[in-house]
């Protein structure tokens, strides 16, 4: 009987497998789209798949696959697998990839007005950010992007930035003499200079190694990026400052987009709109969850700025506004505030 039972089980499993096509899940290709007919859209980004942007890109790919019955295949390349931050934009313009969603700071060398999003303490919550993103002023900003083969489609959230560093950052004076990694934005450079620190521009994919090797003393980023790229494991201090905001511009290669069959382009645009609403809903939740995971890991000492400490940071950083008033535009700053 002891020998018989496994034998019976095996026979049953084999029988069921042959009826259902095997135990392992199989992808069903019901669409019958020939490779020639299929349009491939490469979506490249630099963050982990578990971050708000990573999840939104995957969701977009899945929904597009379903809604176009496989006529468009969105291939998502996360974690700088195809292009590093700083290389993506050129690759998009040349048409090697068709979509990207870089942080706004990455566009500021070409479009200095976009530095508005980097201004310190510009927003205090997501609702303010969304009002700015969807404002008339933002629409005008978007129109500046319709050049050099680029098409601005929408804006996605990441979240508010915090500081990780080799030493505790509580008072303004604590920044003195330290070197921070920044994205390529003059406003971000000015922000740290104003606090007495130096900066190094580095692509996102190289930040962990630089923090570990101590070629930089700290960096600013959101909880989702700090957690997914393990910055909290190589930096003993984290300050919750919410001093700046990190958001994304979703961009397409314009010739690719305009040459799409109109019915497919409409599906892409509608899906992107839906995914934008979804992405903005999950971003703050994901950042909060990642904050909790960092807290639980207990590898970094966390300090939450008190209102007084925050006021002192804010006051120290006000000259950055004066410095960039002309470049960014007084009206734009006023509209966003
Ligand atoms: C960074 O470079 O810190 C961010 O732009 C990464 C990202 O895309 O969120």
Q: Which of 45, 50, 86, 103 for mutating ligand 1's site (highest number of atoms within 8 Å of CB)?
A: 103
**Has residue 5 got a pLDDT over 90?**
no
Q: Does ligand 1 come within 6 angstroms of the Cβ of 107?
A: no
- pTM here is 0.89
Shortest-distance atom of ligand 1 to CA 203: 2
Q: Is the pLDDT of residue 25 over 60?
A: no
Separation CA 332–CA 115 (nearest Å): 11
DSSP 95-141: TSSSEE--BGGGGTTT-GGGGGGGSTT--SSHHHHHHHHTSHHHHHH
CA 178 to chain centre: 26
- Predicted local distance difference test score (pLDDT) of residue 264: 98
Is the pLDDT score of 220 beyond 50? yes
For residue 149, how far is its CA from the centre of ligand 1 (angstroms)?
23
Q: What is the C-alpha to C-alpha distance for residues 156 and 140, in angstroms, rounded to an integer?
A: 17
What is the CA(43)–ligand 1 centre distance, in A? 15
pLDDT confidence bin for 128, thresholds 50/70/90: very high
- What confidence score (pLDDT) does residue 34 get? 79
Ligand 1: residue whose CA is nearest its atom 6: 204
Distance 204 CA to ligand 1 centre (A): 6
Residue 31 binned pLDDT confidence (cut-offs 50, 70, 90)? low
Q: What is the DSSP string of 189-237?
A: HHHHHHTT-EEEE--GGGHHHHHHHTSSSEEEE-HHHHHHTTHHHH-SE
Ligand 1 pocket residue status of 222, Cβ below 6 Å: no
- Which of 20-29, 53-62, 168-177 has the least mean pLDDT? 20-29
Say how many residues make up the chain.
Answer: 337
Is 267's C-beta closer than 6 angstroms to any atom of ligand 1? no
* Cβ-contact 245, 87 below 8 angstroms: no
Q: Evaluate: CB of 103 within 6 angstroms of ligand 1.
A: yes
- Residue 179's CB: how many other CB atoms inside 10 A? 18
* Cα distance between residue 336 and residue 321, in whole Å: 13
DSSP letter (8 states) at residue 77: E
pLDDT of 10 over the 70 cut:
no
Q: Please, are residues 236 and 301 in contact by the beta-carbon 8 Å criterion? A: yes
**Contact indicator for 168, 239 with CB cutoff of 8 Å:** yes
pLDDT at 32: 64
Q: What is the mean pLDDT of residues 311-317?
A: 98
Residue 303, strand partner residues? 239
Residue 175 has pLDDT above 60, yes or no: yes
What is the predicted pLDDT for the residue at 14? Answer: 39
Q: Where are the beta strands (DSSP E) in the chain?
A: 39-44, 72-77, 99-100, 150-165, 179-182, 198-201, 218-221, 237-253, 301-304
Q: Determine whether the shortest distance from the Cβ of 83 to ligand 1 is under 6 A.
A: no
User: What's the Cα-to-Cα distance from 260 to each of 6, 40, 333, rounded to whole Å?
Assistant: 56, 11, 36
Residue 45 pLDDT exceeds 50: yes
Residue with tokens 């006529």: 71
Distance 103 CA to ligand 1 centre (A): 6
Tokens of 153: 């489609």
Tokens at 189, concatenated: 């450079």
Residue nearest to atom 3 of ligand 1 (CA): 204
* 146 CA to centre of ligand 1 in angstroms: 22
Ligand 1 atom index nearest CA of 204: 2
Our answer on whether the CB atom of 104 is closer than 6 Å to any ligand 1 atom is: no
Say if ligand 1 is within 6 A of residue 225 CB: yes
For the chain, state the CA radius of gyration: 23
> Does residue 7 or residue 162 have the better pLDDT?
162
Average pLDDT over residues 242-259: 98
User: How many CB atoms are located within 10 Å of the residue 295 CB?
Assistant: 13
Q: Is the CB of residue 240 less than 8 Å from the CB of residue 234? A: no
pLDDT one-digit tens code per residue, 183-203: 999 999 999 999 999 999 999
Q: Is residue 51 pLDDT above 90, yes or no?
A: yes
Task: Please give the mean pLDDT across all residues of the chain.
Answer: 92
Is 132 a residue whose pLDDT tops 90? yes
**% of the chain beyond a pLDDT of 90:** 88
- Rounded to the nearest whole angstrom, what is the distance from the C-alpha of residue 1 to the centroid of ligand 1? 62
Whole-angstrom distance, CA of residue 238 vs CA of residue 258: 45
- pLDDT tens digits, residue range 68-106? 999 999 999 999 999 999 999 999 999 999 999 999 999
Cα distance between residue 186 and residue 165, in whole Å: 21
pLDDT of residue 337: 84
Name the β-bridge partners of 239.
163, 303
Q: Looking at the predicted structure, is the pLDDT value of residue 21 above 80? A: no
Backbone angles phi, psi at 333, to 5 degrees: -60, -45
């Amino acid at each position: 009987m002891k020998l018989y039972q496994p034998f019976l089980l095996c026979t049953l499993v084999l029988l069921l497998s042959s009826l259902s096509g095997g135990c392992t899940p199989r992808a069903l290709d019901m669409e019958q789209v020939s490779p020639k007919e299929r349009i491939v859209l490469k979506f490249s980004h630099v963050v982990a798949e578990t971050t708000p942007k990573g999840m939104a890109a995957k969701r977009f790919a899945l929904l597009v696959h379903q809604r176009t019955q496989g006529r468009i295949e969105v291939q998502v390349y996360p974690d700088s697998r195809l292009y590093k931050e700083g290389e993506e934009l050129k690759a998009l313009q040349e048409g090697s990839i068709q979509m990207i969603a870089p942080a706004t700071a990455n566009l500021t060398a070409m479009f200095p007005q976009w530095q508005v999003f980097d201004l310190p303490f510009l927003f205090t919550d997501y609702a303010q950010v969304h009002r700015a993103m969807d404002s008339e002023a933002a629409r005008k900003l978007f129109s500046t992007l319709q050049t050099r083969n680029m098409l601005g489609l929408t804006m996605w959230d990441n979240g508010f930035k915090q500081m990780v560093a080799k030493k505790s950052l509580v008072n303004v004076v604590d920044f003195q003499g330290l070197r921070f990694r920044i994205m390529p934005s003059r406003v971000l450079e000015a922000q740290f200079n104003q606090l007495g620190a130096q900066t190094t521009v580095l692509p996102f994919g190289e930040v962990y190694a630089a923090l570990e090797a101590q070629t930089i003393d700290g960096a600013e980023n959101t909880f989702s990026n700090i957690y997914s790229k393990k910055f909290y494991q190589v930096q003993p201090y984290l300050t919750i400052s919410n001093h700046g905001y990190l958001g994304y511009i979703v961009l397409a290669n314009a010739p690719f987009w305009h040459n799409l069959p109109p019915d497919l382009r409409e599906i892409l645009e509608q899906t992107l709109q839906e995914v934008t609403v979804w992405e903005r809903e999950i971003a703050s939740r994901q950042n909060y969850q990642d904050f909790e995971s960092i807290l639980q890991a207990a590898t970094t000492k966390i300090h939450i700025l008190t209102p007084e400490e925050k006021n002192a940071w804010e006051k120290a950083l006000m000259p950055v506004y004066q410095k960039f008033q002309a470049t960014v535009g007084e009206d734009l700053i006023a509209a966003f505030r």
